[in-house]
Structure 1
Amino acid sequence: MGGASGFSSGQEHLPVVDLDLVEHADSEYRSIFQTGSAEEVEAARFRLIWALVHSSQHRHQTRGLELCRASLAAGLQPPADREHRYLAAVACYKLGQYIEARRELARLLQEQPGFRQAEFLRGLTEDAIVREGLVGVGIVAGVAGVALALLFGAARK
């Protein structure tokens, strides 16, 4: 994965960063946290969150979501609020929390109509919800088919 830029395009067309970029962002954040101004720390934290949620590793996505939610709970001013909410939706999407991602994107798009990245992610999220729903329907149908076969088999005996 990755290249000179540190990220590659995932099959969903969301950036996917490599481990080196995550480690660099984490190292930068830790360094700036010790000596930087509040603005520098927040900027480094945002870059870390961005790298974490765009990682392909579940543990990174989870940490990114936690950091994002902590930043949001602390109260951010626009446009940082908008960007953090979008990254929270990205993390939810990548973690398979599609309903939560859809909920966050709906609120975000209600307040920020025309936010293209959020609109694109909403489309991916809706597709994933449909795909997951169809898989669930297929599993239920398969279980029902086996149960019917067993019933008919038992009735024949």
Structure 2
Amino acid sequence: MDLERDAFTVRYDPELISPERMMAAVSSLGFRPHVAAEAGRGISAAETPETDTADATRRAGARRHPEPVATALRQARTDNLMVLVDFLAAWCGPCIALEQDVLPDPRVQEILKGYQLVRVNVDDLPEVTKHYGVVAMPTLIVLDAQGRERQRLVGTMTVERLVRDLAQVRQQRADGP
């Protein structure tokens, strides 16, 4: 696939993420998004079987979360926290930088007190990766205690970006649904 020339379609659940946030996510990966005719149904413009499976699961109402995320969600409900799922790979340079340079930072550690952190190695747990439609690393997904996705961060992460984005999600949580 030549991403400079070829088009691809992203299917998503508009109840979980707004079209604006989906467009921003696609843009942040360096692509030029546009809204297809079916955008009202959660299509933002080559479909992959992984995405189709995840969408079918959501449409069927089967919002079961796989382990280890399910355990983290149970703990998050008990402790009144949100869940931060970190999808990583040992061979991923930006993942290594996130682990060594960003996560240990005291500002990040402070904000992570409001989150139950789950680290998912995409090579060890491909079914979990597929379930959440993760296609690039690192990907950080914020889930509320009910398991609804509130934020998805993809790509190279700085301390400032992570703190800002997690603080924003926390503030939205404080402001209400």
Interval containing the TM-score (normalised by the shorter chain): under 0.3
TM-score after normalising by structure 2: 0.20
**Larger relative contact order (Cα-Cα within 8 Å, sequence gap ≥ 6):** 2
User: Which structure has the bigger radius of gyration?
Assistant: 1
Higher strand share: 2
